[in-house]
Structure 1
Amino acid sequence: MAGSTRPIDARGWIFEVEDLTATDETWLPIAGLTTFTHNPAENEETAETTAFESEGHYEQDVMQRGASLSLEGQYRVDKTSSEQDPGQAYIDHEWAERLGIESRNLVRWRHKSQTSWVVWEATVTPGEQGGGTNEKTSWSATITRCGPATSAAVAG
């Protein structure tokens, strides 16, 4: 049927970080997001394979795949307790502080219309925060995939 496919709303994407400090599997939604960018070619490396027999045409092989997610939004706090959003706080104060082999964490993301999560083992680079006189404080982070992506079914 013509016209049966439709674009999906960007606001329908859900991003969560696994809380490794919890005793049971705990995923923390990341609140306050206003934009995201998924770059499926981040950190891609290629090797040129052009040779005489290529007859003047460029050739290459992909030697390394990578990907990243840039998340941006508003710094969020609970209006009663003034505590930062748990997902943002975990990224800023737990994950972003770890180094070396401890610097990796799991993240997952999907659109609300999808029945499975994309799951990454990743590192995080905290972003700048700021704002002007009549603005809300910004929040951001860049998540870089380590290894291949996996998937998990959406529970319940």
Structure 2
Amino acid sequence: MAKEFLLVDGYNIIHAWDELKELCELSLESARQRLIEILSNYQGFKKITVIVVFDGYLVKGNIGTVYEYNNINVVFTKEAETADHYIERVVNTLPRHYTVRVATSDGLEQLIILGSGATRVSARELYNEVKGIENTIRERYINKRPPKNNLLTDNVDEETRQWIEMMRRQK
């Protein structure tokens, strides 16, 4: 069975999605955390490997950080390494039979990853995909939540409902 990977250029997505861009103006950390939460929900629905990569290349002495958060991998690159370089390296090390998608709107990065055998996903396409999944999750929740009164007859088949009604009327 082929594995599926989604690599996300974190800051590129933050600056491309209006909700996250506005949040970033208040707090970059909050915008990062919100993106990670969104991708965590996405991963839970899609059951794929998600890796979100943030640039750490301008931070002096940065050795890089990798950690797992709610089943997604979060990467802060080391000093002098961009998210693009990290993503390219990962794409080139994954077996060719894996499905690999890279979410970025960086035109040059898209060309490079296409040449490496990955599929590109623009920030807008990922946004639409995420919103579609959020709507599906919401609809499933609404359809599966128990009725307000939570009556026994709301949770049984028609034959059982008729039998209960017959028993009730016989006293």
Q: TM-score normalized by structure 1? A: 0.22
Larger radius of gyration: 2
Q: TM-score normalized by structure 2? A: 0.21
Q: Which has the higher helix share?
A: 2
Q: Which has the higher strand share?
A: 1
